[in-house]
Chain A
């Protein structure tokens, strides 16, 4: 403590806090990683294709495979991975728990049930095409709010209660989906399995564009809350004392993340752990500032998902593993590792 030093030279230690230069260079590096993953995913697959023929000859099978199957799938991987990782980051900030994630908290499960019910109902009642993502969003929002409220103990969010409530929600939604599966006709069984496993199979460009639009809108909303999410790390009360409207922030995050999860689930089903692995790794390397962490998760999540999907397609080619199985196979051990770390130093990651 040195009262005589009235005006100390500000520390220019660039790792001590986030600067614009640091933000841009990290995002640029991640973008390069994404491009490498995307190019690799477009080049490799169960069938060998020649890029030159794909581009030069529109009648070639190479063209059909590249533009009809690979490219839309890579795009969908980019979009879904980006959304899930960004949502994971936002949910973790909201509940101040690095183990929170849409899949783990049962929010994706709720969304999937909503999507399945919409699919089954709209076949009977003739609902529009928008019914599936809309119902997925509604059910995801309902799950988010319910999980959050149920994890509140005496006005405090209990970290382990939150995870337990998530476990129960997952089991419950899973059972509900099985129930629907057994009462509807066999025609839906494949779709339902697809939602449960999580897969990027056979998307269309139109679907991809629609989901990307919703994802970007949701992400823009999250970005506007980035600094408030930083302040939330100090606790609801401290954030409020620093000028954050915590109730409004919470509602905004609930809605934005539910839109994104609803959109992701309605095209790709339940893909868990992407929103856990990606933000955690990035936080460990680059720090916790959400102005960086949110866009970094967006890009990093896209790269991770595209890479995971590549593995899903080539590992046992020509057969395919659902990508949700790949992320869960990585994510399960990762979660346990994080939980053990948490046990030693609660909530400090």
Chain B
């Protein structure tokens, strides 16, 4: 494992995490470190343990062994509301029971900042509206979430996470099933947040090209263990990917931008 060096603040550190479900161990000693202002992509084949790792980082799953630290403090020493003001999670499934409006969902992100009986203040409204605006949702504020398209709904939940004003965002497949334009825009917004606010972003991704293009660091997981960890160019090599995905992979450079591009090298089982 490479450590994040330089003068940056370590936002989150997980050391030797073992975790899983009863009788089904998933993670076998995974360690990561993400610095403030950095975007970390977790990639790997289906069942590698990406979502499980994200659940451990988000506190919704207790690791069997190993520890998670938030700005140098152990996770279990942090009160759940304080944790919610520091870390925001967006899962893959974003079902909402009952008809809440887009603005109401965004305002739910303010809950960890509010007392039990307090109504949202103009300040809270401003933060929620700014979060919606960043994801281009302000026009939809009064609409019910159930009326939105899948992509719009995804953005509503990303805006809700942003309204929490977190220092760390944990995103499980934030761009799954979205079209190219929205993928690019969502990553652009989170890159902005990394720079503007020093937000740390940890995202699980299936899309290796997105990981190569947007992430500062990449963790390649396979069978619940880290195969490689470092910059995209260090991790996303043809050899690593061939080993993990068990298929031939072509890794090259985009001739016009120099960005890393990853393609399947051959059609599996293609009959000549």
Counting CB contacts under 8 A, is B261 at the interface? no
Alpha-carbon distance between A291 and B111 when the two chains are bound, in angstroms:
13
Measured CB to CB, the nearest residue on chain A to B123 is A10
Question: Is B100 touching A16 in the complex (CB atoms < 8 A)?
Answer: no
**Option from B60, B102, B104 in Cβ contact (under 8 Å) with A237:** B60
Q: In the complex, what residues of A have CB within 8 A of residue B96's CB?
A: 233-234, 348
CB distance from A277 to the nearest CB of B (A): 16
Q: Give chain A residues whose Cβ lies under 8 Å from the Cβ of B189.
A: 1, 3
Question: Using Cβ atoms and an 8 Å threshold, which residues of chain B touch A287?
Answer: 99-101, 104
Q: What residues on B are CB-neighbors of A126 within 8 Å?
A: none
Chain A contacts for B188, CB-based, 8 A? 1
Contact residues of A between 1 and 39, Cβ < 8 Å to B: 1-3, 5-11, 13, 15-20
Which chain B residues border A227 with CB–CB below 8 Å?
111, 114, 116
B141 interfacial by beta-carbon distance below 8 Å: yes
Chain A residues near B164 (CB-CB < 8 A): 242
**B residues 117-135 with Cβ under 8 Å of A?**
117, 119-120, 122, 125-126, 128-130, 133-135
Give the residue of B108, B122, B192 whose beta carbon is less than 8 angstroms from that of A242: B108
Question: Complex: how many Å from CA A19 to CA B164?
Answer: 20
Are B104 and A289 closer than 8 Å at their CB atoms? yes
Which of chain A's residues have a CB closer than 8 A to the CB of B122?
10
Closest beta carbon of chain A to B170's beta carbon, Å: 9
Inter-chain contacts of A10 with B (CB < 8 A): 122, 125-126, 128-129
Is B31 an interface residue when CB atoms closer than 8 A count as contact? no
- Indicate whether B107 reaches chain A with its CB closer than 8 angstroms: yes
Which residues of A have CB within 8 Å of B129? 8-11
- Interface contact A11-B109, CB-CB below 8 Å: no
Supposing A8-B138, A20-B119, A349-B99 touch, asked if A243 and B126 sit within 8 A by C-beta, the answer is no
A224 at interface, CB cutoff 8 A: yes
Asked if B142 and A13 make an inter-chain contact with CB atoms under 8 angstroms apart, the answer reads yes
Choice from B81, B103, B112 contacting A17 with Cβ under 8 Å: B103
Complex formed: what's the CA distance from A20 to B91 in Å?
31
CA distance A285 to B133 in the complex (A): 27
Beta-carbon contact of A7 and B130 below 8 Å: yes
Chain A hits for B146, CB < 8 A: 345, 348
**CB-based contact A242/B99 at 8 Å:** no
* A96 contacts B by Cβ under 8 Å: yes
Q: Specify the chain B residue showing the minimal Cβ separation from A11.
A: B141
> Does B20 lie at the interface of the complex (its beta carbon under 8 Å from any beta carbon of A)?
no
Contact of A241 among B88, B99, B136, B192 (CB under 8 A): B88
Chain B residues contacting A230 (CB-CB under 8 Å) are 100, 104, 108, 111
Q: B221 CB to closest chain A CB, in angstroms?
A: 21
Q: What are the interface flags for A239-261 relative to B under an 8 Å C-beta threshold, 1 for contact and 0 otherwise?
A: 01111110000000000000000
Chain B: interface residue total (CB-CB under 8 A):
54
Inter-chain CA distance A180–B134, complex, in Å, is 64
Bound CA span A7–B130, Å: 6
Q: Is the CB of A233 within 8 A of B98?
A: yes
Assess whether B58 is interfacial by the CB under 8 Å rule.
yes
CB distance from B130 to the nearest CB of A (A): 6
Q: Distance (Å) between the CB of B79 and the closest chain A CB?
A: 8
Nearest A residue to B102, CB-CB: A16
**Contact mask A333-349 → B, CB, 8 Å, 1/0?**
00000000000010111
Any B CB within 8 A of the CB of A231: yes
The answer to whether the Cβ of A98 comes within 8 Å of any Cβ in the partner chain is yes
Are the C-beta atoms of A11 and B99 separated by less than 8 Å? no
The reply to whether the CB of B270 lies closer than 8 angstroms to some CB of chain A is no
A243→B114 CA distance, assembly (Å)? 11
Chain B: minimal CB distance from A23 (Å): 8
Instruction: Give bound CA distance, A11 to B97, whole Å.
Output: 24
User: Per-residue CB proximity of A288-328 to B under 8 Å, as 1/0?
Assistant: 11010000000000000000000000000000000000000
A163 to chain B, nearest CB (A): 15
CB closest residue in chain B, given A155: B21
* Cβ contact within 8 Å between B99 and A1: no
Cα of A240 to Cα of B112 in the assembled complex, Å: 10
Cβ contacts under 8 Å, B84 to chain A: 241-243
Expressed in whole angstroms, the minimum distance between the Cβ of B109 and any Cβ of chain A is 7
| Contacting residues of chain A (192-233) with chain B, CB-CB under 8 angstroms | 224, 227, 230-231, 233
| Complex Cα–Cα for A11 and B103 (A) | 9
Interface contact A243-B98, CB-CB below 8 Å: no
Is A17 in contact with B107, judged by CB distance below 8 angstroms?
yes
Also in contact, A288 and B100, with CB within 8 A (given A13-B141, A241-B59, A241-B88):
yes
Cβ-defined contact, B116 with A16, below 8 A: no
- Tell me, in angstroms, the Cα distance from A96 to B99 when the chains sit together: 11
B57 to chain A, nearest CB (A): 11
Pairs A-B, 4 closest by C-beta atoms: A96-B97, A243-B84, A288-B98, A243-B81
Known: A98-B97, A283-B99. 6 other contacts (CB 8 A): A2-B136, A7-B130, A8-B138, A16-B101, A245-B80, A288-B99
Enumerate chain B interface residues (CB-CB to A < 8 A): 58-60, 80-81, 83-85, 87-89, 91, 93-105, 107-109, 111-112, 114, 116-117, 119-120, 122, 125-126, 128-130, 133-136, 138, 141-142, 146, 164, 185, 188-189, 192
Binding site for B on A (CB under 8 A): 1-3, 5-11, 13, 15-20, 93, 96-98, 224, 227, 230-231, 233-235, 237-238, 240-245, 283, 287-289, 291, 345, 347-349
Cross-chain pairs A/B with CB under 8 angstroms, 25 sampled:
A2-B136, A5-B133, A8-B130, A10-B128, A13-B142, A16-B101, A17-B103, A17-B125, A18-B104, A20-B119, A227-B114, A230-B104, A230-B108, A231-B108, A233-B100, A234-B94, A234-B105, A241-B59, A242-B84, A242-B108, A243-B84, A283-B99, A289-B100, A291-B119, A348-B96
